[in-house]
């Protein structure tokens, strides 16, 4: 495939291609993001009812999921994702580290929290300004684990069983990269990747893996789910994926 030309069918952003929503999107992912964009108001209401009844019990979270309802669109490449809570959520930190560890939600809550308010920017162009995220700095978890000299990158895995992401170690150590527990000053709901998602503030939102379950230090960058399908690994907002806003570059 041609890198930089993401697949239309099954891409994270099928609405941007002008092509009909493919069968794989509808069957494979429920196509919620796509449905919300391409369908008529009746179907939109159906989607809303579905989300309200089945996908997210949090009534305040619902509007945030809908197009034109807070700006967020729902994305999942997995058709169904188990729900996790304080009782059964675990985050594993392993790979090229001296001290592999498993954290519960309460372990993470007990650590120092960092809050930041920045714009969420999806690679298709939708954007949600001034969105608060709060959680544990990824660098703190890496320091606790003790990254070995041969570790240069991180692979993130998710309890949806499908999605992966990656960062270089330098990127992962940035102060604006969080293992996020809260978004919009609420505990992160299931649909937004709760109870714990990655938040990579300076990059397009596909880097912010939802339903985070694993942080593995690796020898090399292993491109993530969308990166295997043509999106940039270094996904800096404004200077990746064909957007070069910097006139000096
Ligand atoms: N596990 C997982 N994380 C994911 C995705 C996904 O499909 N699965 N989609 C990504 C994309 S393309 C975007 S734009 C954001 C969407 O987050 P939201 O559903 O909270 O709006 O999550 C990112 N993280
Ligand atoms: Mo996205």
Q: What is the CATH number of the domain that holds 60?
A: 3.90.420.10
> Does residue 245 fall inside a structural domain?
no
Residue 237 falls inside a structural domain: no
Model pLDDT for residues 100-151, shown as the tens digit of each residue: 999 999 999 999 999 999 999 988 888 999 999 999 999 999 999 999 999 9
241: which 2 tokens?
């994926």
The answer to whether position 134 is within a domain reads: yes
Q: What is the pLDDT of residue 33?
A: 42
Report how many domains make up the chain.
Answer: 1
Residue pLDDT, tens place only, 161-181: 999 999 999 999 999 999 999
| pTM exceeds cut of 0.75 | yes
* pLDDT band, residue 72 (cuts 50/70/90): confident
Binding pocket residue ranges, ligand 1, CB within 6 Å? 12, 72-77, 122, 158, 160, 163, 192-193, 205-206, 208-211
The answer to whether residue 190 sits within a structural domain is yes
Instruction: Name the residue of 208, 215, 226, 229 to mutate for ligand 1: max ligand atoms within 8 A of Cβ.
Output: 208
Q: Is residue 186 part of a domain?
A: yes
* Res 1 pLDDT > 80: no
Task: Collect all residues with Cβ–Cβ distance below 8 Å to 104 and sequence separation of at least 6.
Answer: 86, 89, 90
pLDDT at residue 246, rounded to an integer: 54
What's the gap in Å between 98 CA and the centre of ligand 1?
31
pLDDT at 32 over 70: no
> Which single residue is written with the structure tokens 């994702």?
81
- 249 found inside a domain: no
- Dihedral over alpha carbons 139, 86, 163, 15 (to 10 degrees): -110
Q: Is residue 196 part of a domain?
A: yes
pLDDT at 6: 40
Range of the domain at 162: 23-229
Number of the ligand closest to the Cα of 209: 1
């Amino acid at each position: 495939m041609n890198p930089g030309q993401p697949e239309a069918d099954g891409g994270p952003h099928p609405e941007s291609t002008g092509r009909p929503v493919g069968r794989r999107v509808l069957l494979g992912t429920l196509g919620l993001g796509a449905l919300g964009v391409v369908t008529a108001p009746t179907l939109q209401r159906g989607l809303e009812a579905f989300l309200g009844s089945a996908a997210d019990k949090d009534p305040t979270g619902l509007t945030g999921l809908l197009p034109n309802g807070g700006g967020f669109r729902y994305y999942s490449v997995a058709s169904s994702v188990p729900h996790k809570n304080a009782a059964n959520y675990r985050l594993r930190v392993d790979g090229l580290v001296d001290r592999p560890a498993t954290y519960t939600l309460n372990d993470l809550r007990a650590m120092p929290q960092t809050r930041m308010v920045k714009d969420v920017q999806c690679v298709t162009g939708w954007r949600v300004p001034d969105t608060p995220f709060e959680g544990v700095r990824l660098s703190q978890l890496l320091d606790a684990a003790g990254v070995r000299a041969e570790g240069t990158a991180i692979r993130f895995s998710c309890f949806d069983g499908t999605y992966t992401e990656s960062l270089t170690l330098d990127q992962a150590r940035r102060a604006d990269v969080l293992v996020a527990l809260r978004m919009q000053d609420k505990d992160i709901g299931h649909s937004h990747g709760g109870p714990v998602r990655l938040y990579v503030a300076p990059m397009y939102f596909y880097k912010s893996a939802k339903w985070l379950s694993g942080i593995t230090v690796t020898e090399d960058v292993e491109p993530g789910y969308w990166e295997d399908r043509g999106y940039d690994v270094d996904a800096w907002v404004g200077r990746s994926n064909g957007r070069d806003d910097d006139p000096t570059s």
